[in-house]
Amino acid sequence: MRDAAVRLRYLDEVLEALFPAGEGRFPPGEGPDHIRSGEGHDSVPSSEPRDHFSQSARGGGDRAAGVTARTVLPHRLVPRRVVPRAWWHAALGRRLPTCGASGTIETHLSEVFDRRVRVVVHVRPARRANRKPILEAYDSSGLVAFVKIGDSERARALVRHEGELLRGLADRALKVVVPPTVLHHGVWRGLEVLALSPLPVPSWTATLRPFTSRPFPFRRVPADLLVSAVQEIAALGPRTGQATDDSPHGDPYAGLGRTAAWHGDFTPWNTAAGADGRLLVWDWERFAVGVPVGFDALHRFFHRALRRMPPPVAARACLAQAGRILEPFGADAAGARRTAAHYLITLAERHRRDGHEPLGSPATWLNPVIDHLECIL
């Protein structure tokens, strides 16, 4: 099945969960454009960003019936995100009605933040093992939060783990890394809901992100900043996360030096250089402890390589470049190759546990690379 078809099928499931039909309507005067606050009803000012809040006059009938309209952008056949309907969306595709009743994710988040909130729903690639709805929540002043929705057993566990971890990181005196802050973590209709603060992205990236859920790091992150970030994350320690390997067969990394923590998805699209010289880091749901120092640096290199070459070639490149990648962390050439081999094995094991192998069978991309290293692993 084509990716667009898979996304659309998943989109239907997501919207049914986030905007369920059949709920009671708002009382008179408290339609989808009003939210009760401690001081009465606050209507949305006319200065709201039209992209996220405006509805065309033609949509009034839907709103009166307790239904709001959405648009799939950039087009229904290429679904990437679902936004509140604006008048100019008519040229992009048909409207997508969603329930405007009191039992939607928008009204839930409006109650959480005590003000009217509208959401943009991002349609993630549906074949991903950790797929989940990612929302941008907006009020009249702009972006309020990024919201992760755990809608499957695996996604709920990952979202819960990230929420617990980030609350723990809030008590750590981090000097290099800037993680998001947990604004809300709870359960709604059986879904895990984690609202995270937007990070202080420099304006030169924020203005270039009209179709992404997080800023793309257009400016290259300095190498020394990346090294410092990997080292600071590595030093976070066992009390902040959980072990990567729970095998009863002993330490899989014995002889590789002290064990450390790792972010688990330290990729260019999950990081950006902040204006204050620190590193902004998103998506901590794969954080774990009990690995050699440098796994994050290898992960970053490997996933950049995957953008340019097939998995077997990227795996060979990761192994070949391990000495250079891990030199800042004090690894010698032999130790670096062993650490890289163990990193690739750990990644393949993650895919196996997830029940999804995006790189294909390990027999095609992993075994040819590490089989000759078996005697030293």
SS3 letters for 44-84? CCCCCCHHHHCCCHHHHHHHHCCEEEEEEEEECCEEEEEEE
Q: What pLDDT, on the 0 to 100 scale, is given for residue 65?
A: 46
Measured between its terminal Cα atoms, the distance across the chain in Å is 39
Q: What is the reported pLDDT for 247?
A: 36
Look up residue 241 and give its DSSP letter: S
pLDDT reported for residue 209:
43
> From CA 168, how far away is CA 182, in angstroms rounded?
10
The helix/strand/coil state of 110 is: helix
Q: Ramachandran region of residue 78, left (φ > 0), alpha (ψ -120 to 50) or beta?
A: beta
The rounded distance, in Å, linking the Cα atoms of 186 and 182 is: 11
Amino acid code (one letter) for 77: L
Considering only the C-alpha atoms of the chain, give the largest distance between any 2 of them, rounded to a whole number of Å.
74
Which residue stretches of the chain have pLDDT < 50? 23-65, 206-215, 217-218, 245-252, 254-255
Residues 199-243 pLDDT 10s: 988 765 544 343 344 445 446 899 999 999 999 999 997 655 555
Q: Which two tokens stand for residue 39?
A: 């001081």
Of 55, 46, 41, 48, nearest in space to 83 by CA: 55
Q: Which residue has the tokens 């290293």?
A: 373
The three-class DSSP label of residue 205 is helix
Q: CA-to-CA distance for 233 and 231, rounded, in angstroms? A: 5
- Tokens (6 digits) for 129: 């093992």
Determine the pLDDT at residue 246: 40
Helix axes 295-306, 333-354, angle to 10 degrees: 70
Q: Which residues are within 8 A (CB) of 309 and not within 5 positions of it... i.e. 6 or more apart? A: 317
Q: Is 330 left (phi over 0), alpha (psi -120 to 50) or beta?
A: left
Q: Report yes or no: 336 and 109 within 8 Å, Cβ to Cβ.
A: no
Cross-strand bridge partners of residue 79: 74
Cα(103)–Cα(93) distance, integer angstroms: 27
